[in-house]
Structure 1
């Protein structure tokens, strides 16, 4: 049964040790283990990002990091988009992206958003008005596409 998530937006220095550990654990669980893609997730970009994290009780269920224009790409961007595997059936990914877009528009006061999306999620992002702006390319051994929302 889908439960309402409790959302937080935090700058890096506002994250508690428990929150940061949970975020890094989920990112490693999904991107490294589940997707079988060994890469260095801790890339020193977290310090510039806003961290959007959603919880059911104390359990981290959904997460993304958000950058203002110039901190990662020239435009605002969303990355490290994750929903824990056991919670994907509830549509939390759509809630997560909608909230991330809202944070960019209201907190960062930006409209154009660029992402480097895993290619198999193209339709998911198109449902949120992103359009493909590149051919498929490999990033950490996984097919990706560049997408933009204006």
Structure 2
């Protein structure tokens, strides 16, 4: 497990963590049962319920990933992302399942989460570009971290997505 205090981190975005979340990066085997429950519950609340997208969230990839968890002082998981190793989803490492709790949107928690994720990718995979499959309406958000679209918009589970790549930050 890697625990990091909130910081601007790598990438081009310049937003710290306004809520002082405690961040940790944990390989799947190091997650506790409570952490697995928390991350699955947050992902399902947002992706399945809020976005009304019926899909298999437990896609078989989680076991190979590092999981970024952002907890409030009261113990609530409020932000999450996973880092997928190169060769699993894309030739490059990838950041996926990027999610913040709905009650914390608009206060830069998502920016703090992506800053943490980009810094962790640089630590784990120095010198490698990063690829994501972003929801198309979030392209401007991801551009702040150096991502540019590659290819056309495509449908994934009824939501428009686009592949984006950020050049290595290490």
Instruction: Give the TM-score range, shorter chain.
Output: over 0.9
TM-score normalised to structure 2 length? 0.85
Cα offsets for 1:69-123 (capped at 9, x unmatched): 1122100100000000001121010111111111111123243000000001000
2:8 paired with 1:11: no
Match for 1:126 among 138, 143, 156?
Answer: 143
Matches within 5 A, 1:1-150: 2-57=18-73, 58-150=75-167
| Unaligned ranges ≥5, structure 2 | 1-17
TM-score normalised to structure 1 length? 0.96
Give structure 1 regions of 4+ aligned residues with deviation exceeding 4 angstroms. Answer: none
**What's the Cα RMSD here?**
0.9
SS at match of 1:24: helix
8 Å Cα contact 2:61/2:84 also seen in 1: no
Name which structure has the greater RCO, CA cutoff 8 Å, separation 6+.
Answer: 2
More helix by share: 1
| Count of equivalent residues | 149
| Unaligned ranges ≥5, structure 1 | none
SS at match of 2:105: helix
